[in-house]
A and B are shown apart, each in its own frame.
Chain A
């Protein structure tokens, strides 16, 4: 691995150490005098009803699915942007075709109400 990734490695190590250190310090030095109010998720407001692990609507899944598709579209844009100057007009046209085909998909999803939150 090239040496220029060393700062990233140092950053990751520091972040992990800081997180673990903070948890450790607060568990050592923090006073622990629990009361039922302190142990509840929210000290004020409405008392929680049921668990947080309810089943979620399929609407979230649709949004995630569309997100992945357009995320992958963006992934193809990164290498294209890097070599754009070498490809010249040819590159512009081929990416225009690529985006156009995906735009059809976006229009379809829009028309069918896939972007609506009913």
Chain B
């Protein structure tokens, strides 16, 4: 059951990710990206990370996708849709780089370069205590400073957006 669900979610995630780059219509690509995000949320649930799964749906499939859609609507993409996929040397370089990336990933994850050290919070302990509770307690005690700094980063984002969008062209 568990393995079957993982295979289904992983296949949906990969198929929709491939559809994102194959689609010529950028709006369809964005919709496939939502499917990718949702299946990733399912994978997070399987990893006992319920909080991250909820955030994945709320922030990525919700807010970030709205931003993507507005960028797509902002740009004039009709010419892009009509253009055929270029073959030749671009495709060759792309495939080569993809192969190199695959090799690197295989080396890092398969070759045992990254050996995760089991921390204090094992999946069993986290699911016993409650995922969100553990995240909250750590975030608001041990990681207090990064949490408060996040608000400053968000403030910078607000100011940046206002300055860029409200600039008078004169």
Query: CB within 8 Å of B: which residues of A?
Result: 1-2, 5, 9, 53, 55-56, 58-62, 64-69, 71-73, 75-76, 78-80, 82-83, 86-87, 90-91, 94-95, 97-99, 101-102, 104-106, 108-109, 112-114
Contact = CB atoms under 8 A, between A and B. Distances in A.
27 contacts: A1-B2, A2-B48, A58-B74, A59-B165, A60-B73, A61-B165, A62-B165, A64-B66, A65-B67, A65-B157, A66-B161, A68-B59, A68-B63, A69-B157, A76-B147, A76-B150, A83-B136, A87-B140, A95-B140, A97-B151, A98-B148, A101-B148, A101-B155, A105-B154, A105-B159, A113-B166, A114-B166
B78 interface: yes
A80 B158 contact: no
Contacts of B135: 79
A98 B155 CA distance: 10
From B2, B5, B141, name the one whose CB has the most chain A CB atoms within 10 angstroms: B141
B165 A82 contact: no
Given A78-B132, A82-B132, A114-B165, A55 B45 contact: no
Contacts, number: 137
Interface of B: 2, 5, 45-46, 48, 51, 54-55, 58-59, 62-64, 66-67, 70-71, 73-78, 127, 130, 132-133, 135-137, 139-141, 144, 147-148, 150-152, 154-155, 157-159, 161-162, 165-166
| Secondary structure call for the B interface | helix
A80 B155 contact: no
Given A61-B74, A97-B148, A112 B166 contact: yes
Nearest to B76: A55
From B63, B67, B137, B139, name the one whose CB has the most chain A CB atoms within 10 angstroms: B63
B147 A94 contact: yes
